[in-house]
Amino acid sequence: MDDKTRLDLYRVMVLSRTYEEALLREYHADKKPAFDIGAGLLPGEMHLSAGQEPVAAGVCAHLRPDDAVTATHRPHHIAIAHGVDLDKMTAEIFGRQGGLGHGRGGHMHLFDPATHFSCSGIVAEGLPPALGQAFAFQQAGSDRVAAAFTGEGAANQGAFHESLNLAALWGLPVVFIIEDNDWAISVPRSASTAVASNADRAAGYGMPGQRIEDNDVDAVYAAAGDAVTRARAGDGPTLLEIHTLRLWGHFEGDPQAYRPDLAELAGRDPIPAYQARLQKAGILTAELAATIKDEASARVEKAVEFAKSSPAPEPETARDYLFA
């Protein structure tokens, strides 16, 4: 990888973390009590992806705006890496008219036709829509691809196995990405999954599978490049499992009493680790790192102000956009 690519990956990771730090601030700003999830500027549950930024940055660096991406209930880092409009996404999370879905979807149901991005609060249910889009791309004779992100807990859902089987059977241009953050809500993979790596399951469906360790964005970028190139060439699907890290709770307010690794989390943060690696390589200086952080903060605060200034949907529009 050239220096520019590595700096771009770092910028995406910093922007994603800065964004979620702002969401965390706004989410808790007016919650009384702390677990009153229905109240305040940001109503509903909030699932943040701090620590998982290398996955989104490394994979989405190979995707074009006309490629399709489906994500999970923890979607912000993926949406940012794929270029979803930050202002509109923030307004959607705030439940405002200026949002991607006019405030109706919230943070777990972001949908952006401009970048072919969508996500779902239902575990593993982003995979079948990715197949549908990949099938359409194949039938149209284009080189567009679909990327379907899911978690290691979702790899035990029927939709996961059905999707892998059909993708391989029809040779669809789709890349499956499992974000293995060790915890399916509060259940460790060792207590739920019979194989040591979900990447091994790829062989049962006749597709390549690879596990990437250490939350390493450079390694993710390399593996995703091969998978996307393969899909664009018409050579079928690939399964990638990336061992990543969930720095914060499953949802905001999660006390995480089930985790024995809380004390060591800060030392495993991928962003300062990658910053140190780039500085050692002479690619990044402390001054440039500060500039990148300042630029990210400016973009994020602009998006937050856009969201706050956007009106809430009018009650009389509650039945708009219904199919039945």
Please report, for the domain that includes residue 283, its CATH number. 3.40.50.970
> Does a structural domain hold residue 177?
yes
> Does a structural domain hold residue 270?
yes
Q: pLDDT, tens digit, for every residue of 192-220?
A: 999 999 999 999 999 999 999 999 999 99
Higher pLDDT, 30 or 189: 189
Residue 77 clears pLDDT 80, i.e. is over it = yes
Q: pLDDT, tens digit, for every residue of 275-295?
A: 999 999 999 999 999 999 999
pLDDT band at 259; cut points 50, 70, 90? very high
Per-residue pLDDT at 80: 98
Residue 99 clears pLDDT 70, i.e. is over it = yes
Supply the DSSP symbol for 203: G
Q: Domains in the chain: how many in total? A: 1
Structure tokens at 6: 């590595």
Domain range holding 159?
3-311
Residue 33 clears pLDDT 70, i.e. is over it = no
* Backbone angles phi and psi of 59, in degrees to 5: -80, -50
Q: pLDDT, tens digit, for every residue of 118-144?
A: 999 999 999 999 999 999 999 999 999
Residue 157 clears pLDDT 60, i.e. is over it = yes
CA-CA distance, 74 to 179, in Å (whole number)?
A: 10
Q: pLDDT, tens digit, for every residue of 213-246?
A: 999 999 999 999 999 999 999 999 999 999 999 9
Per-residue pLDDT at 118: 98
Per-residue pLDDT at 139: 98
> Does a structural domain hold residue 316?
no
> Does a structural domain hold residue 141?
yes
Section 144-167 average pLDDT: 97
Residue 161 clears pLDDT 70, i.e. is over it = yes
Per-residue pLDDT at 323: 85
Per-residue pLDDT at 31: 74
> Does a structural domain hold residue 319?
no
Per-residue pLDDT at 175: 98
Angle at 17 between CA 11 and CA 18, to 5 degrees: 85
Per-residue pLDDT at 179: 98
Average pLDDT of the chain is 95
CA-CA distance, 167 to 175, in Å (whole number)?
A: 9
The contacts of residue 14 (CB under 8 Å, 6+ apart) are 271, 292, 293, 296
Structure tokens at 240: 């990638």
> Does a structural domain hold residue 180?
yes
> Does a structural domain hold residue 317?
no
Residue 36 clears pLDDT 80, i.e. is over it = no
Residue 43 clears pLDDT 90, i.e. is over it = no
Phi-psi region of 241 (alpha: psi -120 to 50; beta: other; left: phi over 0): beta
> Does a structural domain hold residue 267?
yes
Q: pLDDT, tens digit, for every residue of 300-317?
A: 999 999 999 999 999 999
